[in-house]
Structure 1
Amino acid sequence: MINTLLSALRFDHRWLSDQFVEESRQLGELEKSKEHHYVPQFYLKRWAVGGLVQPALVDGSLILRPQPPKGVAKSTNFYSLPPVGSAMGTPLRWIETHLSRIEHETAQHLSKLDTHVPGVIDDRELKRDLSVFLALQIARTPNSRELKMCLISGPIAAKREFYRRVMPNVSDAEFQAMVDRTEADPKREALNLMFADVRNVSAGALFRREWVVFDTTGPIISCDDPVVLVAGGNFPRRLSAGVALSSVVFYPLGPNRLLVMFIEPGQARGEYVLDERETQSVNREVVAAAHRMTFERPGDDLATKFEVPPRNYCELDQELIARLDDTAALQLLLKAATPRCRWDGVENPPPWPVPRWYS
């Protein structure tokens, strides 16, 4: 359904092409792994010391024992599906293969950024590739999966009201045709939406930004939702502005380097090195962005120094929503399917990280 609305914004890239996908499907027939990482192992290894990273649970500020990257940020059969029309048989695991192929090339790009002089990135092909990778990272996390499942499980009446507002010329017959094309298996539809988000929204929005590499004063950490969206500007602290409207999007590249994607050119405003206070504000934002867990080098011991509120969840009450009119049902559906910020409801939230980035 949503694919139809967004198809005009399609971001063309070989990793999103039918040919690349078909190659992944064929190679995926041999895929045996059941433990699927939603944060790539090659990325987590950037924080490894002696082959181990330090995970910590954000809610409860609990430090866990150091572990190898292969043991964290994973879920059993996260991308697997049973064959169409069958509840039995070997799961389809081609998506894990597909992501692994992309990660192999991305690892080389991140290595290139390790030696990039702090400042603006002008390499458009590198940006194109990383835009797809980072958009996939946004879409593949458990938090994103939960939001999509909430949207998929919403009532048809609320979805019809949504289309009346954003596509008023869509007839009831056309809307029903979109409903009929929706996958019956919610997880399969969620995976479809994952790729639709990348192709039609996130990759292009990231690519159009100005990309800047920053060094940091002191170590920075990462998390299980490592592409951090910062609404910034005049947005209330409690809101998420999404990929298209966030003033800043950043991605830790390693313990002392940060990739920042600005919505406007020249927004860095100053040196391409974050001072100690700015570095700590980035770390706090990473902790707040985490779904459940942060990752750092063993011995840095940063994650539990930042107290953040618990993440807010809004589950759909099917009995309640059935009693609402279409407009009220839509409002509840959109609220449940919108990213929840940890600062929602906090009386005195901290300022946006690195204040010089906003004007």
Structure 2
Amino acid sequence: MTKRKKGQVPPGFLALIESARRDEAGGSAPRKHHLVPASYLRRWEEDGKIRVTHVDQKKSHLSAPEKAARETDYYRLESPDLDESALPPLLFEKMLGEVEGMSVGVIDALAEHGPDVLTPKQRAEFSLFLAFQITRGHSFRTANRLMVGDFFKMQYEGVTREGVRQLLIERGMPATETDIEAAQAALREVTEGDLVMQPQDAAIVAESGSVAIQLGEHLFARDWHTFETLRLLVTCDEPVVLLGGPPRRRDERAGVSTAAVAMFPLGPSKLLVMFHPRMRPRGSLRLDAVETAEINREIMSATSRWAFEQPSRHVTERMPVPPPAPPFKREGPFPMAGDGRKQLFRTFHPTRWANTVPPPWPVSRWW
């Protein structure tokens, strides 16, 4: 194996950059970007169609997989602060295409033979694919925006006039009385919610790639098993579903490193379940009718907007789930032991079960 020098860009990444540049220059790249890969959604296809249900609008229609769950320029890296010659706007979309291409054969192998047939390289590549499914959708973006805005608001709540003056001086900015008044007025708009601070879309797209690499390592280390289900399994636009498991809170989304179970539907009758290293699956690798329905309920509850299934089925139309909760929540402040001047806050991502009495955890034998 050839050791790459520190700071040297991998040849494969340079090829992606060049390909993105060519497509941008030629205007040949599609502007409709998939939130979920079309190659994945084809696994629910019948006669060229899948059923697409907007969960909260209670609307359902049939669509070709290639036309489902798309948004214009969703992954485009475009900002006045970015040099397009160094970082082409289409780079992230190109990178996702490479990751998705590596996943197709692995999903086939997992569905037909289980995880034991995967090589370490295939498992690592598919872990990265799964991690991108966590960070590429609306859930990650919305929570990211709200967290940044909330942090900025919390940081400047209660700042005094003298504090504003010091902030301006520290940043090398003029600190006349007029400047202080203007800065105070701007901060007041932020803390009162009239002005919202949030990162640019390009920054969130880039962040999603960075976070995915970290999450992939945790998914790789889990205990993987393929479960067979009745041919009723659905999927959604957030297809990696994280279950905290007892005694964790049902109304709070678990993290990738702490969740007892991470699930990913492989098709209408196959489910990849990745258990925490401290857990072991109990019972059969086949889910009965009740367990399959429970899993479908969890997949539906993880949805940001769309759920998908075979066009001849109507599970996503008929299965009710609560409305979405706020993507981000902060609790506190809590006093810190030994330092009365500092405060501790807790942040988390609520689930749809925050709005109602939650059902028991699915597949009770797992716990």
User: What's the TM-score once normalised by structure 1's chain length?
Assistant: 0.77
Inter-partner Cα distance in structure 1 for 2:202 and 2:230? 43
- Asked if residue 353 in structure 1 is aligned to residue 362 in structure 2, the reply is yes
Equivalent residue number for residue 23 of structure 1:
15
Tell me which of 194, 198, 202 is aligned to 1:188. Answer: 202
Q: CA deviation at 1:266?
A: 5.6
Residue identity in the other structure for 1:80? R
- Asked if residue 72 in structure 1 is aligned to residue 72 in structure 2, the reply is no
Pair 1:160–1:269, CA change in 2 (3 A): farther
Tell me which of 285, 289, 308 is aligned to 2:302. Answer: 289
- Asked if residue 113 in structure 1 is aligned to residue 138 in structure 2, the reply is no
Pair 1:190–1:43, CA change in 2 (3 A): same
Inter-partner Cα distance in structure 1 for 2:286 and 2:77? 45
Q: Quick check: 90-99 or 213-222, which moved more?
A: 90-99
More strand by share: 2
C-alpha RMSD of matched pairs (Å): 3.1
The higher relative CO (CA closer than 8 Å, separation ≥ 6) is in: 1
SS of equivalent residue, structure 2 residue 256: helix
Pair 1:160–1:189, CA change in 2 (3 A): farther
Q: CA deviation at 1:121?
A: 6.2
Pair 1:144–1:185, CA change in 2 (3 A): closer
Pair 1:327–1:345, CA change in 2 (3 A): farther
Residue identity in the other structure for 2:210? A
- Asked if residue 51 in structure 1 is aligned to residue 65 in structure 2, the reply is no
User: Over residues 254-277 of structure 1, what are the superposed CA-to-partner deviations in whole Å (9 max), with x where a residue is unaligned?
Assistant: 000000000036621111111111
Runs of 5+ consecutive residues of structure 2 not aligned to the other structure: 1-8, 158-166, 172-197, 330-340
Kindly indicate whether the alpha-carbon contact (under 8 Å) linking 1:218 and 1:279 is maintained by their aligned counterparts in 2.
Answer: no
Residue identity in the other structure for 1:356? R
Tell me which of 193, 212, 221 is aligned to 1:198. Answer: 212
Equivalent residue number for residue 168 of structure 1:
none
* Identity, % of aligned positions: 29
Q: Quick check: 91-100 or 45-54, which moved more?
A: 91-100
Equivalent residue number for residue 136 of structure 1:
132
Q: CA deviation at 1:96?
A: 0.7
Equivalent residue number for residue 89 of structure 2:
92
Q: CA deviation at 1:124?
A: 2.5
Tell me which of 268, 284, 289 is aligned to 1:271. Answer: 284
Residue identity in the other structure for 1:340? P
Aligned pairs for 1:134-173 within 5 A: 134-156=130-152, 158=154
Runs of 5+ consecutive residues of structure 1 not aligned to the other structure: 1-16, 162-171, 177-183, 317-325
SS of equivalent residue, structure 2 residue 211: helix
- Asked if residue 42 in structure 1 is aligned to residue 44 in structure 2, the reply is no
Pair 1:72–1:80, CA change in 2 (3 A): same
Kindly indicate whether the alpha-carbon contact (under 8 Å) linking 1:121 and 1:211 is maintained by their aligned counterparts in 2.
Answer: no
SS of equivalent residue, structure 2 residue 354: coil
Equivalent residue number for residue 344 of structure 1:
354
Pair 1:156–1:122, CA change in 2 (3 A): same
SS of equivalent residue, structure 1 residue 110: helix
Q: CA deviation at 1:19?
A: 4.0
Equivalent residue number for residue 9 of structure 1:
none
Q: CA deviation at 1:65?
A: 2.0
Q: Quick check: 338-347 or 72-81, which moved more?
A: 338-347
Flag as ranges the 4+ runs of structure 1 deviating above 6 A: 86-91
